[in-house]
Chain A
Amino acid sequence: MRRLVRLNLRTAIAFGIAGFFLGAWVGREIAAGHDYLIGTDQDDVAVFMGFLFATIGWLAGLGFFNYPVSRLLGRPAGYPVEEAKGTARYFRMSTDHKVIGIQYFFGVGAFFLIGGLNAMLIRTELLTPNEKAFPAGQYLTLVGLHGTMMIMMTSAFILGPFGNYFVPLMIGARRMAFPRIEAMTFWLTPLAGLVLMSAIAWNGFPTGWTGYAPLADQARAGMDAYIFAFMLIGISLCLNGLNLMATILTMRAPGMTWTRLPIFVWGVLSTSILMVLASPVLLAALLMGMLDRTANTGFYLASTGGSAYLYENLFWFFGHPEVYILALPGFGIVLEILPVFTRKPLWGYKLAVAGMLGVAFLSFFVWQHHLFVSGINSTLRPFYMLTTEMISVPTGIIFLNGIGTLWLAKMRYTVPMLFSLAFFFNFLIGGLSGIFLSDVPSDVTTHGSYFTMAHFHYTIMGGLVFAFFAATYYWLPKMTGLVLNEKLGKIHFWTMFVFFNLTFFPLFAAGFLDMPRRVSTYAPHLQVINDLVSSAAFCLGISMLIFVGNLIYSLVFARIPAEQNPWHSRGLEWQVPTPVPLHNFDEIPEITGDPYDYGVPGAPPVARLRPASAPARAR
């Protein structure tokens, strides 16, 4: 099968841009026939059609339609595996889960840095109590871009790079269940980032990441970019969860019983449940918003028989599980890393599993805690207060696992271990500040204030992002085959830990002192706090640059080859050679032991990698 054109990122961009203009033209033609367009200054139909065609062009340019078309023509099922080396394979559709993991790492990482840059600009504006740096509209767009970009990208921050790369390796599989869908979940992500950023070209959007209607119905065409980008991410999340779940449930190697499954894989599994079930609701909520803006329906407009509450309910029905889509992978990462550097079995493994599944289950029953003062269902508030506070029980289990695993440990303070320990500190503050928001009387004070904002930055940045860096320092040597500089890693850790806390802890006080979220104007007496926070935030930004510097130094200049198992971990993913061969395992391994049996006398090896040749061990 010879191809005339080599499909890669270049063709994707070309087809995407061509698709956009074609779609915009089609959209204008469709809308031109309808008289409701008369008297409006904007063409949302054209913008949406442009994005739709751009997506089709982007995916076609990457070659995603070749296989479905061939299947429609009745050609047999199967999938191609490229035996290519070199960087070119990262810039086109690949069905190798290891290539996709690395694509995710750098792709999502780049957008994370863009989101971080937005945060720096926001903090610049907040140096003074009045608008100085940016006009009010631009400031709101920055807030929206920061929030939406971060939520979109951090949703895939751990499951994207590490879930895709390591789940097959950890369960003894050669690939993911649906390799093409896996590739698509990745390629939709940078497209979503680009679509979101294109909002700038249409005067931005004023709603922040929550996109509340009817403000969203009123907003200008930048809102369409928000809606479309978030829809792409919703599809990507749903498919990623479906794929990971199918992989874990069907492709475990023989002997990989449920009690031998690495705890990270359990974290991925419980997150996947949320991704499969919650993202479709987000998609539906956004599609209704899209219809409001293009087809003139009135889902969210009270004056025409709709309701703003409908959006709030649907959005938070997705939004709260989303919070745990962000948190659960972090739990999995730190519990995976602690046993390696304490040289102890994971303490309370079954309880940890129960905790993560419990969090996943409960998270579907708490969404109205975001709406305690909205006037919805005030009679149900005690119920949502109870369910929300109940979530602290399974979350608390993760802390108990940490406590038990540290007991009588032989700790090594490596960089991944430091990030994991900091996770507990940050998540403790993040979690406990959540109690103030779950209790209705104190929520009346804190709702919608900087207290809330500090709370979720402690859980997402302090929890998820710290866990992401723990995983990065732990696993990147396996993924790239190169050692990351430890000294720079420690500098990165300490600056990030200190300045993260200096940035966000004072914001609890700002919230208590009546500073609402998403304002560019605040009371003059809050300037001291805000200037302190801004200076710390800039240092936090520099800390991120230290990490980027470490990546460039270690991966481009130093290039020290990594050992196969530098941390002396029992994990199955460390038993394969570095770099990982194309098919992961020569033979599907047979799992013979527990991944965390450190210090257990007579513990069997975790797996027999070549059942045919390796000598059998007792038990």
Chain B
Amino acid sequence: MSAEPTTTWIPAENPELEARIVSLGSYLLSAATTFFFISFLFAFLYLRALNSNGLWGGPKPGHHVPTTTTSGIAILACVLVSVLLVRLALVELRGSTRALWWPACAGALLLGLAAVAIQCWQYTDLGFGTEEGGYASVYLGWTGFFTIFTFGAMLWLETILATARRAPAKAPEVEKSVASFSVFWATLGLVEIAAFILLYGVK
């Protein structure tokens, strides 16, 4: 066993390379996330089509558990506006003024967290139990893991905001990190649109 090692802290060596790595990583993470939620999309369509024992919709054949469309719309709106705000911040960072990117991103963060909060509140007042049919299962799984992914995305966004606040970085670097985040967050936005259409529209 050796003595305490000497640790050198190496800063991100080449910011340009670092940004490319994070950007590519973001695309790959988005692809993986898409495949993760495609599993739930498949589960939805498959179980709905099979309708085994007639129990897709609820605990009795031919019955469908109630859905809470209001909070569904609220979550969808929060996520979509948040995605748009991040895009807006990106436009802002690429433009000449750059004044609004911070409030836009902060707003996006708050809206994302609001989506998480609304979903958690909704679980306490669901109107159906998890065991009541295929729809209930898919609903719980899809929204649950979407909420967890959303929370993770918000941690990432917070990191970007905190870094920029502490050490005012050059605009190109902030722009690249926001751009990478935006890819992932827009992917989750698409997942939420699909979830809304299927879970609240198609049922």
List the interface of chain A (C-beta within 8 A of B). 6, 36, 68, 71-89, 177-178, 238, 242, 245-246, 249-251, 276-281, 283-285, 287-288, 291-292, 295-299, 302-307, 309-310, 313-314
Contacts and interface: CB of A to CB of B under 8 A. Distances in A.
A304 B130 contact: no
Contacts of A284: 36-37, 39-40, 145
A245 B28 contact: yes
B159 A72 contact: yes
B47 A305 contact: yes
B33 A296 contact: no
Given A84-B5, A296-B131, A281 B28 contact: no
A536 B92 CA distance: 70
A213 to B, nearest CB: 12
B73 interface: no
Given A250-B21, A305-B51, A305-B52, 17 more contacts: A71-B159, A72-B162, A74-B162, A74-B164, A76-B167, A78-B10, A80-B9, A81-B7, A84-B6, A245-B28, A277-B32, A278-B35, A288-B141, A299-B138, A306-B52, A307-B50, A313-B46
A439 B74 CA distance: 52
Interface of B: 1-2, 4-12, 17-18, 20-21, 24-25, 28-29, 31-33, 35-40, 42-43, 46-47, 50-57, 129-131, 133-138, 140-141, 144-145, 155, 158-159, 162-167
A242 B18 contact: no
Contact of B24 (A85, A89, A249, A307): A249
Contact of B137 (A85, A283, A306): A306
Contact of B4 (A6, A80, A238, A310): A6
25 contacts: A71-B163, A73-B162, A77-B11, A77-B18, A79-B9, A80-B7, A81-B8, A82-B6, A83-B7, A83-B8, A84-B2, A86-B1, A242-B25, A242-B32, A246-B21, A280-B35, A281-B36, A283-B36, A287-B145, A296-B130, A296-B131, A302-B53, A305-B52, A305-B135, A313-B46
Given A84-B6, A310-B46, A178 B163 contact: no
B1 A88 contact: yes
A198 to B, nearest CB: 24
Contacts of B47: 299, 305-307, 310
A281 B8 contact: no
Contacts of B29: 242
Contacts of A283: 36
A171 to B, nearest CB: 13
B110 to A, nearest CB: 16
Contact of A246 (B28, B35, B129, B162): B28
Nearest to A89: B5
A79 B10 contact: yes
Given A281-B35, A281-B36, A304 B163 contact: no
A303 B53 contact: yes
Given A245-B28, A246-B24, A297-B140, A85 B53 contact: no
Nearest to B165: A74
Given A71-B163, A80-B7, A296-B130, A250 B17 contact: yes
Nearest to A173: B17
Which residue, B4, B33, B52, B162, has most C-beta atoms of chain A within 10 A? B52
Nearest to B35: A280
Contacts of A6: 4
B24 A250 contact: yes
Contacts of B11: 76-78
A303 B56 CA distance: 10
Which residue, A71, A277, A297, A313, has most C-beta atoms of chain B within 10 A? A297
B141 A299 contact: yes
Contacts of A88: 1-2, 5
B160 to A, nearest CB: 9
B15 to A, nearest CB: 9
Contacts of A298: 55, 131, 133-134, 136-137
A492 to B, nearest CB: 31
A277 B1 CA distance: 41
B32 A83 contact: no
Given A242-B28, A287-B145, A299 B35 contact: no
A556 to B, nearest CB: 16
Contacts of A292: 137
B43 A310 contact: yes
Which residue, B10, B31, B138, B162, has most C-beta atoms of chain A within 10 A? B10
Nearest to A245: B28
A72 B7 contact: no
A177 B39 contact: no
A83 B9 CA distance: 11
A285 B39 contact: yes
B46 A307 contact: yes
B39 A280 contact: yes
B109 to A, nearest CB: 12
A603 to B, nearest CB: 30
Contact of B53 (A87, A177, A304, A313): A304
A75 B159 CA distance: 9
A72 B25 CA distance: 19
A296 B129 contact: yes
B167 A297 contact: no
Given A74-B163, A297-B140, A307 B52 contact: yes
Contacts of A245: 24, 28
A76 B164 CA distance: 9
A297 B37 CA distance: 18
Contacts of B141: 287-288, 291, 297, 299
Nearest to A87: B1
Contacts of B136: 297-298
The 10 A-B pairs at the shortest CB distance, nearest first, are namely A84-B5, A74-B162, A86-B2, A305-B55, A284-B39, A305-B134, A74-B166, A297-B137, A280-B36, A305-B133
Nearest to A303: B53
Nearest to A242: B28
Which residue, A71, A83, A279, A305, has most C-beta atoms of chain B within 10 A? A305
A178 B21 contact: yes
A280 B33 contact: yes
B155 A72 contact: yes
A83 B137 CA distance: 51
